[in-house]
Amino acid sequence: MNSAKQDPHRVAVVAAGIVSPLGFGLTETLQSLRQARDCVTPVTVFPVDKTRCKTAGQIDDEQLLTKAQRCRRARRLHRASHMVITALAELLEDAPGFPPEIVIVGTTSGGMSFGENFYRTLGNGNGCSAALIANYPPQKQIVDAMEKFGMNVPAEVIANACASGTNAIGHAFNAIRAGRYQRILAGGYDALSELVFVGFDSLQAATPEKCRPFDSNRSGMVLGEGAALFALEELESARSRGAEILGEIIGYGISTDNHHLTQPNPDGSGPRRAMEQALAQAKLTPDQVGYINAHGTATILNDSAEGKAIMELFGDVPVSSTKSMMGHSLGAAGAIEAAVTLLALQYQFLPPNINFRESDLSLNVVANEAHEAQFNCAVSNSFGFGGTNATIVFRKFAR
């Protein structure tokens, strides 16, 4: 019997789809990143007259519904369902021969706005619509998208605060790497919810000003929304069927610091452990990483803890938080920012951290404008409430 340990399988990204405040699809997203567009706008989807923060990164409903093809059934679906359908449509257009064996996605709010409406109807004595109940479960949005495109495979939902999207991609990566699957559809989605928006405003974590990650005058985050999905495939399987390979995932790290319900440990130990694990699995040293897409929420505590971890581990590596351009989409953030990181590697540029003036941290911030650069590996970070930390490492695919 051959007892030699089998080498881990390599994991390729063969297609991706995205919708976010930066645009519909990878091409529009790339253009917004290169142009350093500020896509945070006044909130229109619910009233904000009684909140401090009045802005968010939003997706235009008219364009979203047009992309989703208007029909009676489509009008009944949650906005998040339309986002997932739009992202999946782009992915399948680029990879029509990709049949996933399982779907793994991250989310937090899911159909939370349907939950709000459901409880409001209980109080007015008018009964409630079955659609409110049917659309409430967080898995409903990915199920809607699977039904739209005739997929009949298991779906796994990961809800782990703001690390959810990165956890979903990392979990899928590990499953293929270990040989349990050859093809997985992975990503994340979340839509703006009034309950969540008001909650962050009540915590005074949201800012009435511009979102300024890593800036010494940062005053808080703004929320966003969107969806991003990735077709992940074992590399030799992808090569054998002639699939286009956009890049590789080579490392994934997770940690939980359990310091506080909403505040990270100020010593940065949780984020650092996640990044160290991801580098170790990728067999990289910190100096081999050419760019970090930071979690960078623009809150005082998150930025200082993450900044400390990055400075100690990586030193002068270029860093940016693209939340400055599109807001924080919670469970979808890790997936959307993974797509940004992949585009940065593909097109060899550093995405900008806009609204930046000066920092109280010794970070090499990609300030206000995109820059051309040559690098082979990049890191994407996601950190959430409860001290949940996740990091993935991408490598430029060498053909």
HSE at residue 240, side-chain half, CA atoms within 13 A, is: 6
Given a contact cutoff of 8 angstroms between Cβ atoms, the answer to whether 220 and 54 are in contact is no
89, amino acid identity: A
**Is 82 a known active-site residue?**
no
HSE at residue 337, side-chain half, CA atoms within 13 A, is: 42
Q: Which of 9, 82, 171, 295 is catalytic?
A: 295
**Is 9 a known active-site residue?**
no
Rounded Cα distance, 352 and 320, in Å: 6
Q: Hey, what are 352's tokens?
A: 């900008």
Q: What are the beta bridge partners of residue 252?
A: 392
278, amino acid identity: A
Given a contact cutoff of 8 angstroms between Cβ atoms, the answer to whether 106 and 226 are in contact is no
Q: Hey, what are 150's tokens?
A: 């005739």
Given a contact cutoff of 8 angstroms between Cβ atoms, the answer to whether 111 and 331 are in contact is no
**Residue 38: closest CA among 333, 372, 380, 327:** 327
**Is 295 a known active-site residue?**
yes
Q: Which residue has the tokens 């000003």?
A: 209
Q: What is the DSSP letter of 318?
A: E
**Residue 173: closest CA among 161, 160, 186:** 186
Burial of 256 (0-12, 13-18, 19+ CB in 10 A): middle
Rounded Cα distance, 291 and 376, in Å: 9
Q: Which of 53, 162, 211, 377 is catalytic?
A: 162
Q: Hey, what are 339's tokens?
A: 């797509």
Q: Which residue has the tokens 């999207």?
A: 165
Q: Which of 9, 171, 328, 377 is catalytic?
A: 328
Rounded Cα distance, 167 and 327, in Å: 19
310, amino acid identity: I
Give one DSSP letter per residue of 24-93, joined into a string: ESHHHHHHHHHHT---EEE--SS--TTSS--EEE---HHHHHHHT---HHHHHS-HHHHHHHHHHHHHHH
Where in the sequence numbering do the catalytic residues fall?
162, 295, 328
